[in-house]
Each structure stands twice: as structure tokens, then as C-alpha cells.
Chain A
Amino acid sequence: DAKTTQPNSMESNEEEPVHLPCNHSTISGTDYIHWYRQLPSQGPEYVIHGLTSNVNNRMASLAIAEDRKSSTLILHRATLRDAAVYYCILRSSNQGGKLIFGQGTELSVKP
């Protein structure tokens, strides 16, 4: 299974943009890049996913490098409610839908 590498922790100031990086140098051509976040004592929440093109939704944007070996989750204006652990996960068609979680990035947001 292709792996992802994320920084253990990041800090941001409230109302500033946040760029959360993810490296996935062994990604295959059919792997989708998914992002989830988890608040303390809650289940993970789907954020966004993409294959090759950049993606935008109401929660965030996903910027995918041209060679697909890295991606960046962008929160345009961080709020205190965005403080969570963010997981970058690769999903392939032969995994039966399994999500393989790494350690993620713990994002703290300062007022």
C-alpha cells in the first residue's frame, strides 16, 4: 500500500490561511487522495478528495502537484473549530474501500 508522510503538528492563527502538506511519492496512477479530520473524542469527518486536478468544496481546497507525489490541503480562513488531526490517505480500487490511517497532522489554531 502506498504511504503518506505528514508533519506531526502545525500551528495557525485564527482567520489566516493554513496549508497542510502531504507527501506520497509512491502513489500509483489510480490512487485517489483523500483528506479527513478528527476532532477530539469524535469520529473522523470527510473533508475532500481528488485524483489529478485541484478540487474545491465548502470546507477546503485540495492542491495536487503535477507529478501527484504531493498534495496540500488548504483551509482558507482557519477558525478555532478547525483545530483537529488531519489525515491524508491514499485510496486505490483494490483495497475494498479500506482507509489506511497514518498519524496525521495535529493542527492547533491560536486566537
Chain B
Amino acid sequence: DGGITQSPKYLFRKEGQNVTLSCEQNLNHDAMYWYRQDPGQGLRLIYYSQIVNDFQKGDIAEGYSVSREKKESFPLTVTSAQKNPTAFYLCASMLYSGPNYGYTFGSGTRLTVV
């Protein structure tokens, strides 16, 4: 079955460490997105990519980096520059980025700084 796989489900990071969250999709979708969700809040956009080898900053990109070397993969690196990284991270994809298409979301990665 097609879908989006995020790994790991839970991730613990020490302060000062970089960590990379994986997002893989086999839906042949062009566009991919990373969102962050804090407790009791809605989702906020970190980065998005509408095509391979291209990506744009979202609303809260500081302290994060991404790459899009393959259509299927859009990993997110949380760097030590991100001051408050503890959150629920969600990856999503869409066939095309037009407004007449819906997202498919992954099941999320919960990152905790210890």
C-alpha cells in the first residue's frame, strides 16, 4: 500500500546535537512538507519542496535544514541552533501543490530534548 513513512516514532536528543528525521513516500507525489506541532496547538510549516532539488522556507525555518535529492525522500535535520526543538514533527506529501489536491500525512516523530 502507498503511504508516507516517518522514522523514528520517538527520538531523544541531547542539547547541542543535530538529529535527522526521516520521511519517505511511495505515492509518487511531487510536493512534500514538514510541519511542527506543539502541545494544544495547530501545525506550523517548517519547510516545503514542490520538486526534486528545490525547497522553500516555511514560517518557522530557523534552526532546521532539509534536502530533496530524491522524489521519495525529504529528510529534516534539527540543528543545535533550534532553541526549542521538543515537539511533534509531521511530514506530508501531495500529488501536486495546487489547491485542488489534498495532503497525505505521516504518523509523526515525537522529538524530546533531554
Contact = CB atoms under 8 A, between A and B. Distances in A.
Interface of A: 30-32, 34, 36, 41-46, 49, 51, 87, 91-93, 95-104
22 contacts: A41-B110, A42-B107, A43-B105, A44-B92, A46-B104, A87-B42, A91-B99, A92-B99, A93-B98, A96-B50, A97-B31, A97-B94, A97-B98, A98-B48, A99-B33, A99-B43, A99-B45, A99-B92, A99-B103, A101-B44, A103-B42, A104-B42
Question: 4 smallest A-B Cβ distances: which pairs?
Answer: A97-B97, A43-B105, A101-B42, A46-B102
A43 to B, nearest CB: 3
Contacts of A102: 42
Interface in B54-74: 56, 58
Given A96-B50, A104-B42, A32 B103 contact: no
Interface in B19-68: 31, 33, 35, 41-45, 48, 50, 56, 58
B108 A43 contact: yes
A51 B100 CA distance: 8
Q: How many B residues touch the partner, as a band? A: 20 to 34
A44 B103 contact: yes
B7 to A, nearest CB: 13
Contacts of B108: 41-43
B63 to A, nearest CB: 19
B42, B48, B92, B106, most chain A CB atoms within 10 A: B42
B48 A96 contact: yes
B90 interface: yes
Nearest to B97: A97
Contacts of B101: 97
A41 to B, nearest CB: 7
Contacts of B33: 97-99
B50 A97 contact: yes
A93 B99 contact: yes
Given A43-B107, A45-B105, A98 B45 contact: yes
Contact of B43 (A30, A45, A101): A101
